Amino acid sequence: METQPPPVPVEDGVAAGGLGTAAADCLGSDGEDDITTEGIAFAHSETPEGDMVPPKVDSKEEILHEKVRKKIIKEGHGPNPTKFSTCFLHYKAWVEKTLHKFEDTWQEQRPVELILGKEKKQMSGLSIGVASMKSGERALLNVGWELGYGAEGSFSFPNVPPSADLLYEVELIGFDEVKEGKPRSDMTVEERIGTADKRKIDGNTFFKEEKLEEAMQQYEMAIAYMGDDFMFQLFGKYRDMALAVKNPCHLNMAACLIKLQRYEEAIGQCSIVLSEDENNVKALFRRGKAKAVLGQTDAAREDFEKAKKFVPGDKAIARELQLLAEHDKAVYQKQKEIYKGIFGPRPEPTPKKQSWPVLFWQWLVSIFCYLFKFRRQKAD
């Protein structure tokens, strides 16, 4: 690296890969919603339902081009991207005739970068569809083979037969307006980290305004600028600078997901951070919160106990551990009541009251038995 980049501020005093002096303060009374920064790895948007076949969409079909049609699955917000915008998107792709799925970026957890007007030939139809979309929008695209993989198809990766019309389920995460259409690969380290940091700050602003979906889109865009391939090339202070922006985005995503009650996804975001920094207090706390809600009490307690070792006086952690203890006590009492009749002392039987006719016949039978026995003894 020839130039010396300016230092990237690390909020809350937490450096990449370690705990800052404000680690205890980061939790607070509502710490799980506190947007702060201290960071790592890769994010993904909500995976759509129906993994193997295209979704059924009832919305009105739009004709974007002679060979491109669109149906909106989920509305987006804001303006449409313009020519040379750098767009970040997720998509699934099928051969329309056979419904053979040949690509899925959600599964790979790696958003695709597409610069409108500079796309590859086989992405022409997809590019037309994306140009009509707004940030956060999800749509189903029908693309004719002429704007896809052509008459020849593709026999490597992806495997697409000749003259195959295509179906795309695509989500536009967001886009950057860059006049020259500069791809991530052409940016300097400073440019990529700076762009990601700006996205993170925008996300924090949306979070404070309770616009959680918009906030998550900004965080995911920030993470997209620092993919695994980029992080793998960094070391020393450059890696620390990148992690100081990236890790907070995952933790902030987790805070949004907990508010939206998408607990499994929140656990995934925290686990990404913990894969690099196993002692990250915020990641342990938020993952514990999500696990507790899902009923994974033992795993939640383990996360809280580990976090407590680093901030033993934190009231938020103590409160969560107390709630788990009360929950366990309530479960024990309930089980005790259920099994009380099975394993407890056997109740004494209550004698049944007999009617006088029954008692009378019992008396007669006893008299006859006595007389019969007396006569037999006399005869002997």
Same domain, 112 and 237: no
- Token code pair at residue 158: 């992806």
Q: 323, 353, 373 — which closes off a domain?
A: 323
Whether the per-residue pLDDT at 200 is higher than 80: the answer is: yes
Which residues contact residue 330 at a Cβ distance below 8 angstroms, ignoring those fewer than 6 apart?
none
Per-residue model confidence (pLDDT) at position 39: 30
Q: 120, 142, 176 — which closes off a domain?
A: 176
Same domain, 100 and 135: yes
Which residues contact residue 372 at a Cβ distance below 8 angstroms, ignoring those fewer than 6 apart?
none
Same domain, 166 and 199: no
User: Is 17 a member of any domain?
Assistant: yes
Q: 176, 196, 216 — which closes off a domain?
A: 176
Whether the per-residue pLDDT at 269 is higher than 80: the answer is: yes
Average pLDDT over residues 183-193: 84
Say how many domains are in the chain: 2
Q: Say whether 240 sits in a helix, a strand or coil.
A: helix
Residue 62 phi, psi dihedral angles, 5° rounding: -105, 135
- pTM of the predicted structure, to 2 decimals: 0.65
Q: What is the distance between the alpha carbons of residues 185 and 118, in angstroms, rounded to a whole number?
A: 14
Average pLDDT over residues 95-100: 94
User: Is 343 a member of any domain?
Assistant: no
Q: What is the distance between the alpha carbons of residues 89 and 131, in angstroms, rounded to a whole number?
A: 12
The pLDDT-based confidence of 112 (bands split at 50, 70, 90) is: confident
User: Is 97 a member of any domain?
Assistant: yes
Q: What percent of the chain has pLDDT over 90?
A: 48
User: Is 360 a member of any domain?
Assistant: no
Report CA-CA distances (Å) from 146 to 66, 124, 163, 185, 224.
10, 9, 7, 29, 30
The residue assigned the tokens 């307006």 is 177
Average pLDDT over residues 118-138: 94
Full domain range(s) for residue 158: 61-176
The pLDDT-based confidence of 121 (bands split at 50, 70, 90) is: very high
User: In terms of DSSP H, where are the helices of the chain?
Assistant: 105-108, 124-131, 189-208, 212-224, 228-232, 236-259, 263-276, 281-293, 297-310, 315-343, 356-379
